[in-house]
Amino acid sequence: MEAKRKLIREDGKRLDGRKWDELRPISLEVGLLKNADGSAYIQWGKNKIMAAVYGPKEVHPKHQVLPDRALLRTRYHMAPFSVDERKNPAPSRREIEISKVIREALVPAVIVENYPRTAIEVWVEVLQSDGGSRVAGITAASLALADAGIDMRDLVVGCSCGIVDSQVVADLDDTEDKEGSGDMPVAIMPNLNLVTLLQVDGDYTRENFQKAFELAIAKGKEVYAMQREALTKKFFGDEAPSSAEMEESA
C-alpha cells in the first residue's frame, strides 16, 4: 500500500483547513417532522442525521413493561445511500452496538421515573455519514427528546476527539477517522458535567488520553450552545430570549 499520507499540513492545519481544535460547521433544526412527537435534524460536517421521538406511549410487547419507569428504545440506523459503497439496510453489529451506547448515553438525562409503564422511542437515521455520526446522532436525539416535551435533567451533547499524525485533534471527519490513529467519542450532560458515553480506540499515551478526553468535553460544551439556540428558536422564533435573559428567569 502507498505510504500513509500526512493528515496535518505543513502549515499546521488539517486537510480540510481546520485548526487542531476546530469543529466542523454544525447546523441544527428542531421540529421538522410532522408526525413525530419530537424531532431534530443535524448537519455536522458531511453528516446529515434526523432524530425523531415517539412517546411516552404504550409498551409492546407488554412483557417489556418496566413498572417503575419508562423503557427507552433507540435505533441508530444508516441509510443504504449514506456511505460510499451501498450499505446493506439490515442492522449490522456496529449499528446494534451503537444503538446500545446511544441508549445508555441518553437514559441518564431522561427522568424515566416520571413515565412508568411507557415506552419512549428514539429513532436516529443517518442520511449521510461522516466521522462522528454517533455523537452527532446523540446531539440530535437529545434535542428531539426535549422537543417532544419529555422531562429531562439536562441535554446530552457529544463530540469526538482523536489522534491524527500523533497529535490530539478535535472532531474527526471520516478521512481522519479512517486514516488517523485514534477516535474517542464522548457524550456529556453539559450542565451537570457528567459523562454519559465514552468509547476509545487507537493509541493514546496517558497524557494524550487526558488531553483528548478534556478537549472532547470542552468542545461538547461549544456544541451545547448551538443546541440550546436551536431549541429556543423552535419555541420562541426570532424573539428567542438571550442566554442572559433565560438565566434570569430560571
Partner 1 sequence: MKKNYVVETIRKAQMVELLSRGKRLDERTPDQHRPITIQTGIIQKANGSAIVTLGNTEVIAGVKVATGTPFPDTPNQGLLVVNAEILPMASPYAEPGPPSEDAIELARVVDRGVRESEMVDLKKLCIVEGKTVYTVFVDVNIMNVDGNLFDATSYAVVSALRTAKMKKYVVENDKVVAKDEMIPVPVDRTPVSVTLARIGDTLVVDPNSEEECAMDMRVTITTDDDGNICASQKGEASTITPAQVLEAADTSIRIGREIRAQILEATK
The residue ranges that bind partner 1 (CB under 8 A) are 1, 72, 85, 93-94, 96-97, 99-101, 103-104, 107-108, 182, 184, 189, 192-206, 209-210, 213-214, 217
Chain centre to alpha carbon of residue 205: 26
Nearer residue to partner 1 within complex by CB, 129 or 196 = 196
Residue 80 near residue 110 (C-beta atoms within 8 A): no
CB 205 → partner 1: shortest distance, Å? 5
CA distances from 79 to 45, 52, 90, 124 (A): 17, 15, 10, 10
Nearer residue to partner 1 within complex by CB, 86 or 94 = 94
Nearer residue to partner 1 within complex by CB, 127 or 194 = 194
CB 237 → partner 1: shortest distance, Å? 33
Nearer residue to partner 1 within complex by CB, 50 or 197 = 197
Nearer residue to partner 1 within complex by CB, 145 or 189 = 189
CB 118 → partner 1: shortest distance, Å? 16
HSE, side-chain direction, 13 A CA sphere, residue 106:
36
Q: Which residues of 209-241 are buried (b: 16+ CB within 10 A; e: fewer)?
A: bebbbebbbebbebbbebbbebbbbbeeeeebe
Residue 20 near residue 169 (C-beta atoms within 8 A): yes
CB 184 → partner 1: shortest distance, Å? 8
Alpha-carbon span 81 to 43, nearest angstrom? 16
CB 124 → partner 1: shortest distance, Å? 16
